[in-house]
């Protein structure tokens, strides 16, 4: 994927999330406050994260494990079922953290050989996602505290959403000016 496409996709996600948070009413605030304990969101995000990880493993060279490649889909289903059945506490933030860890790899692969020094903006952003993903996977209760802090007042929620949307606008400006081929 080209750096321009990565910047546009990132911008769309940031702008959508930021505007939803900033312009959403009490239902968005309540949804964000309930997200860490949501079993449905946890199950869906865990399915995406485990499926993505299994796909990466399927396409990777496995060395001495190569004869057992056919077991990867079965192991992925087993891991998913065990995760959903045994991880009752804060599964949604943990799965979200796993997705943050996974999404950095294609971004870094897509921008690795770009000649512009502005690629470092996306590089730093990807590493921030990795650190945030590790933070959320290992300390999901802190993610819940951050969600509670953001949802504490309407002004704080709107400012946080505005900052996220502003990051998206910055990514669009970079895509239109610097990353353009």
pLDDT of residue 1: 75
Does some domain include residue 105? yes
Q: In the predicted model, what is the mean pLDDT of the chain?
A: 92
Classify residue 58: in a domain, yes or no: no
**How confident is the model at residue 12, as a pLDDT?**
97
Look at residue 24 in the predicted model and tell me its pLDDT.
Answer: 85
Tell me, what's the pLDDT at 181? Answer: 62
Q: Is residue 144 part of a domain?
A: yes
Over residues 77-109, the pLDDT tens digits come to 999 999 999 998 899 999 999 999 999 999 999
Q: Residue 57: CB partners within 8 Å, gap ≥ 6?
A: 72
State the total domains in the chain.
1
156 found inside a domain: yes
Q: Where in the sequence is the domain holding 133, given as residue range(s)? A: 3-38+89-177
**Domain-located, residue 169:** yes
pLDDT at 103: 95
Pick the more confident residue, 3 or 77. 77
* Residue at 47 is within a domain: no
DSSP per residue, 111-135: HTT-SSTTHHHHHHHHHHHHHHHHH
Residue 136 within a domain? yes
Residues in Cβ contact with 173 at an 8 Å cutoff, skipping those fewer than 6 apart? none
Region 46-72 average pLDDT: 93
CB 168 within 8 A of CB 14: yes
Considering the domain boundaries, does residue 170 fall inside one? yes
Tokens linked to 54: 């299994």
């Amino acid at each position: 994927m080209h750096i321009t496409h990565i910047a546009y996709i990132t911008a769309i996600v940031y702008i959508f999330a930021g505007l939803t948070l900033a312009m959403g009413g009490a239902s968005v605030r309540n949804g964000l406050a309930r997200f860490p304990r949501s079993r449905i969101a946890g199950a869906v995000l865990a399915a995406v994260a485990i499926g993505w990880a299994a796909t990466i493993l399927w396409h990777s060279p496995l060395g001495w494990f190569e004869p057992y490649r056919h077991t990867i889909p079965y192991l992925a289903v087993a891991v998913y079922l065990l995760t959903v059945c045994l991880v009752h506490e804060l599964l949604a933030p943990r799965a979200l953290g796993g997705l943050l860890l996974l999404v950095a790899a294609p971004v870094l692969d897509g921008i690795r050989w770009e000649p512009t020094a502005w690629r470092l903006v996306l590089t730093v952003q990807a590493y921030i996602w990795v650190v945030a993903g590790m933070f959320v996977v290992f300390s999901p209760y802190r993610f819940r505290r951050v969600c509670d802090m953001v949802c504490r007042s309407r002004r704080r929620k709107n400012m946080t959403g505005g900052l996220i949307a502003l990051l998206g606008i910055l990514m669009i400006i970079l895509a239109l000016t610097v990353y353009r081929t």
